[in-house]
Amino acid sequence: MKTGLETLILPAGEAAAEAAARTLAAGGLVAFPTETVYGLGADAANATAIAHLYAAKGRPAFNPLIAHVADLAAARRIGRFDARALRLAEAFWPGPLTLVVPKTEGCPVADLATAGLDTVAIRIPDHPVAEAILRAFGGAVVAPSANISGHVSPTLAAHVASDLTGRIDLIVDGGPVAVGVESTIVGCFEAPMLLRPGGLSRERIEAVLGSPLARPPVEAGSDDSQPLAPGMLASHYAPRAQVRLDARDIAPGEALLAFGPARLPGLDAASAVMNLSPAADLDEAAANLFGHLRSLDAKGARTIAVMTIPGEGLGEAINDRLRRAAVAR
């Protein structure tokens, strides 16, 4: 474990982008905002830097990383895109979509970052700060969410600092993120497969493909031994508090995570109440999800009762993260 590092926090801007690029080139670890969540970046070609990254997060090394690039030309140096993968890239990049494609011959991404797979996960983030850093650095940057492994993903620089201060070199503060849940991951296999629901809805992807996305043979996350998107461990995205789903009432002392109008029996005895979206807007709820879980933790909630959230649009990703947060640990 690389601890005791001096973690610098810089406001986003030209100087921060240059400092980030220098730090990455020197093998350091840099947290930066993307439109989904804050990522913790390392030079994708530098195995030592990637080993430090796994250690800083406490992440199992069999769990591969997403390579972030600034444009499609850079993506195609790393991965092989067939017609369908190209159609998705052109429709949704830059944006909250990660494509898993076969590696190119001479793919510069270190084997440690792909966990020895012959495929690589790639995305072009839709965020000016991420883009500035990627362009200043020039190469691919692998970046998992910038949190301790298994913990709630960070949507603010302050979340990154609270998890990773002393373990990483630099945090670039670009304010709150817009989407709030991680990218949707599609495996560009024989049949394109939804490996992780995320910030781009299934409906929008299927509209471009003209066909439904395949489901993983084993529901991702139900079996920790052979996960298809290997990061989809059953217990993940977890606050410290217990999480109780589909709450129709509130037990004395429970905290409430509401969605839409909150009129549940027991509300008066709730220890805290936060609403993902009083107007029942799923995009707003996604943006608030991880921050609200962190806030309820900070208020000392023992159990968080969560109201039912519809499954369409970004509701699929929200429910996926909440189910993982609710897995008994």
145 binds Mg ion, rule: CB under 5 A:
yes
Site membership for ligand TXA, residue 229 (CB under 6 A): yes
144 binds ligand TXA (CB under 6 A): yes
Question: Do 326 and 234 touch, CB atoms closer than 8 A?
Answer: no
Strand bridging mode 97-102 / 242-244: unpaired
Length of the chain: 329
How many residues at the interface with ligand TXA, by CB under 6 A? 28
Instruction: Give the full edge-to-edge strand order of the sheet including 255-258.
Output: 242-244, 303-306, 255-258, 272-275
Choose which of 182, 254, 316, 320 interacts with ligand TXA (CB under 6 A). Answer: 182
Does residue 123 have a known ligand-binding role?
Answer: yes
Residue 166, amino acid: G
- The window from 166-174, 223-231, 288-296, 310-318 that contacts ligand TXA (CB under 6 A) reads 223-231
Given 20, 53, 88, 100, the residue binding ligand TXA (CB under 6 A): 100
- Asked if residue 59 belongs to a known ligand binding site, the reply is yes
138 within 8 A of 43, measured Cβ to Cβ: no
Out of Mg ion, ligand TXA, none, what residue 230 binds, judged by CB under 5 to 8 A for its kind, is ligand TXA
Binding partner at 319 among Mg ion, ligand TXA, none, C-beta below 5 to 8 Å by kind: none
Q: Is 321 labelled as part of a ligand binding site?
A: no
87 appears as a binding residue in the annotation: no
Question: Hey, what amino acid is at 157?
Answer: A
d(CA 217, CA 244): 27
143 annotated binding-site participant: yes
CB contact at 8 A, 179 and 282: no
- Give the binding range for ligand TXA (CB under 6 A) out of 69-77, 118-126, 282-290, 301-309: 118-126
**Residue 29 CB partners (closer than 8 Å, separation 6+):** 23, 40, 41, 42, 49, 52, 53, 56, 167, 168, 169, 170
329 is in an annotated binding site: no
Task: Report CA Rg, the chain.
Answer: 19
Nearest approach in angstroms of CB 266 to ligand TXA is 35
* 239 binds, options Mg ion, ligand TXA, none, Cβ within 5 to 8 A by partner type: none
Specify the residue, 142 or 270, whose C-beta has the smaller distance to ligand TXA: 142
Asked if 143 is part of the footprint of ligand TXA (rule: CB under 6 A), the reply reads yes
Mapped onto helix, strand or coil, the DSSP state of residue 101 is: strand
Q: Does the annotation flag 63 for ligand binding?
A: yes
What strands lie across the sheet with 97-102, from one edge to the other?
8-11, 170-173, 30-33, 38-43, 141-142, 66-68, 119-123, 97-102, 184-187, 193-196
Through-space distance between the first and last CA atoms of the chain, rounded to whole angstroms: 24
Binding-site residues for ATP sit at: 59, 63, 119, 145, 153, 196, 237
The contact set with ligand TXA (CB under 6 A) reads 34, 36-37, 39, 63-66, 98, 100, 114, 117, 119-121, 125, 143-145, 182-183, 185, 195-196, 229-232
Binding-site residues for L-threonine sit at: 36, 68, 123, 143, 183
